[in-house]
Structure 1
Amino acid sequence: MSNVVYEAHPSVLRMRPFGVLLALVLMAGGILVAVLGAQLVPPAFAAQLDGKILQLVGIGVFALSTLQLLTWWVSARSDRLVITDDELIWTHGLLSKQYTEINMASVRTVRVSQSLFQRIMNAGDVTVFTAGDNPELFVRGLPDPGEVRELVKANPQAGS
């Protein structure tokens, strides 16, 4: 068995910092509306709005934002990149799995792309090229993508 030198899942917070922040704010707002309800509405509109409707709206906002965060988290946890001494192994999928194994000797180029926010969050997209012009592997939102590039580059089996 080869020695594992790197193992990571894409990071939800690093991939979607503003989306996670917005979902958390909506969750807190949903709880606030569900608990306080009619107390948040100005007195002029209080007679027209039913407190139960406001509670249902608050619960709905909380549930939808929680569902969105859970969806992002499960999606990120269902993907995994493992780098061993001999190969790169990308696993994708929750119920049905897709495995991509690339021998280190066949790796030609590793490209790391980072937006400004990804650089701030120390995340990035990693593209691995073997023979040909099309990438063999594309992984979004990995933590510390420079380390992936350096590990593959430092491997004596990897091509130049």
Structure 2
Amino acid sequence: MPINQITPQSQIDGYIDERIERLKQAIIYNLCAIGEKVRNEALERGSYTDQTKNLRSSVGYVIVIDGQLYKVSEFGKPDGNNEGKEIGASYAQSLISKFPKGIVLIVVAGMKYAGYVSAKGYNVLDSSELLAEQLVPELLKQLGINK
């Protein structure tokens, strides 16, 4: 660009806003994909016997953007029961207010006894958490965002 040609501030601001919005959309898209992978990990590798199908049915995720619900995943497996699905979705949504800023992936096993089952040594969300801890930094690196 020649020295005597100055780009108006509004064009610069517009360009920056456009780039931020594209990056935001890429993060959201990829967090949805990570949410599905993490959810599937929990459903497939849960090492407990789910006698009532409540615990597995309560596994799912939500995406939150600046304190507002953006996406609610399917909870549990298609053959799961509605009680677990409703409790899981309700629990995930109850956590939204804890994240008033930013883009957040919340993954839950919504039954009250999920922590107890996990403390007994069973994999409820343990391998899912490890998977998320691997995938999210990879996503940020791919997008050129430092953690």
* Structure richer in strand, relative to its length: 1
The TM-score with structure 2 as length reference comes to: 0.33
Q: Tell which structure's C-alpha radius of gyration is larger.
A: 1
* Structure richer in helix, relative to its length: 2
